[in-house]
């Protein structure tokens, strides 16, 4: 039985904990020990997660495999916090919405630290601080972000993800996948947050032009960054996810409803600011970025 640590107790972290605990020893690393029991809810069934809970200060050993499923704006601080507690050859697995500069993260890591990115469309919602409701399956993808991670990719996949994640795939170009996931985020998250609707509601014709314009800008900015995205493919992908997750509430819609900070800076904000670095504009993404920021301040 292998040991894996999961930082935080967000919805994705708890969904991962439930799956991994079937075959491994899972430790949830939280800020405090307010909750020592966490619940997984699927349909009418409710089960207690078979996991340990601790804080960074109370860790008794170095972490070899650590999953960091936090908000995009928390990533750099999270890496800074866990770095002193990692083994010399640790595996770090990031998972978040939006885009983040991985080069800045690399500077915080030791030479033998392997950095991976895990993208998932699994749906989860937290009705209470210590429980998660499983809202539906979705494609998960794992890729390597640095050279040493490429060497360990198959081992990490087979050890942690191959058995209990379905559908899942290993990808050669995780940067392309991150841009594709960003496009899905752009098409769904901000609009569901503004209109406080389910993902599937965005398939209505009245949203079609806005979705098209948002993705068109994202594809153009990706091209400026050297990533070739096909507009038709990204549009198809976005609507496919809307269909698969039709009854789900996006994380951003939940954040705005509960007066929490969202990941809009790493989604529409990322497209807008990246466009400007190339001397271009992304007005549709800029507009939604500012709309969500205003809602965060209410």
Place of tokens 């809202």: 135
Rounded CA separation 241/231 (Å)? 15
User: Can you tell me the mean pLDDT for 142-152?
Assistant: 97
User: Using an 8 Å Cβ cutoff, are 263 and 71 in contact?
Assistant: yes
User: Which segments of the chain belong to CATH 3.40.50.720?
Assistant: 3-172
Q: How confident is the model at residue 239 (pLDDT cuts 50, 70, 90)?
A: very high
Q: What is the pLDDT of residues 256-273, one digit of tens each?
A: 999 999 999 999 999 999
pLDDT at 133 over 70: yes
User: Using an 8 Å Cβ cutoff, are 170 and 157 in contact?
Assistant: yes
Q: 166, 247, 167, 164: which is closest to 199 by C-alpha? A: 247
Instruction: Take residue 187 and report the two structure tokens written for it.
Output: 């098409």
User: Which segments of the chain belong to CATH 1.10.1040.10?
Assistant: 176-296
Three-class secondary structure of residue 146 per DSSP:
coil
Q: Which sign, positive or negative, has the C-alpha torsion 129, 132, 133, 137?
A: positive
CATH of 3-172, one of 1.10.760.10, 3.40.190.10, 3.40.50.300, 3.40.50.720: 3.40.50.720
pLDDT at 298: 62
Q: Which sign, positive or negative, has the C-alpha torsion 245, 250, 253, 259?
A: positive
User: Using an 8 Å Cβ cutoff, are 142 and 153 in contact?
Assistant: yes
- Looking at the domain that runs over 176-296, which CATH code has it been given? 1.10.1040.10
Residues labelled catalytic: 181
pLDDT at 58 over 70: yes
Q: How confident is the model at residue 297 (pLDDT cuts 50, 70, 90)?
A: confident
Q: What is the pLDDT of residues 168-178, one digit of tens each?
A: 999 999 999 99
């Amino acid at each position: 039985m292998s040991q894996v640590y999961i930082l935080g107790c967000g919805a994705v972290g708890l969904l991962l904990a439930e799956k991994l605990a079937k075959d491994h020893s899972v430790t949830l690393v939280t800020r405090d020990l307010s909750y020592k029991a966490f619940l997984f809810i699927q349909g009418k069934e409710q089960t207690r997660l078979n996991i340990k809970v601790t804080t960074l200060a109370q860790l008794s050993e170095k972490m070899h495999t650590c999953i960091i499923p936090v908000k995009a704006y928390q990533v750099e601080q999270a890496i800074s916090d866990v770095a002193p507690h990692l083994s010399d050859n640790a595996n770090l697995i990031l998972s978040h919405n939006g885009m983040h500069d991985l080069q800045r993260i690399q500077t915080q890591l030791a030479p033998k630290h392997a950095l991976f990115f895990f993208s998932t469309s699994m749906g989860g919602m937290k009705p209470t601080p210590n429980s998660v409701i499983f809202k539906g399956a979705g494609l998960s993808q794992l890729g390597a972000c640095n050279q040493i991670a490429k060497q360990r990719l198959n081992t990490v996949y087979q050890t942690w993800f191959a058995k209990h994640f379905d559908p899942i795939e290993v990808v050669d170009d995780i940067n392309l996948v991150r841009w594709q996931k960003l496009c899905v985020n752009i098409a769904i998250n901000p609009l569901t947050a503004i209109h406080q609707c389910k993902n599937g509601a965005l398939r209505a014709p009245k949203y079609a032009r806005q979705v098209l314009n948002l993705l068109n800008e994202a594809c153009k900015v990706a091209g400026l960054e050297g990533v070739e995205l096909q507009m038709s493919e990204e549009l198809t992908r976005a609507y496919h996810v809307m269909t698969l997750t039709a009854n789900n509430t996006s994380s951003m819609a939940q954040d705005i409803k509960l007066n929490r900070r969202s990941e809009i800076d790493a989604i529409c904000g990322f497209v807008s600011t990246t466009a400007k670095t190339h001397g271009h504009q992304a007005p549709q993404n800029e507009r939604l970025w500012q709309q969500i920021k205003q809602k965060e301040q209410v």
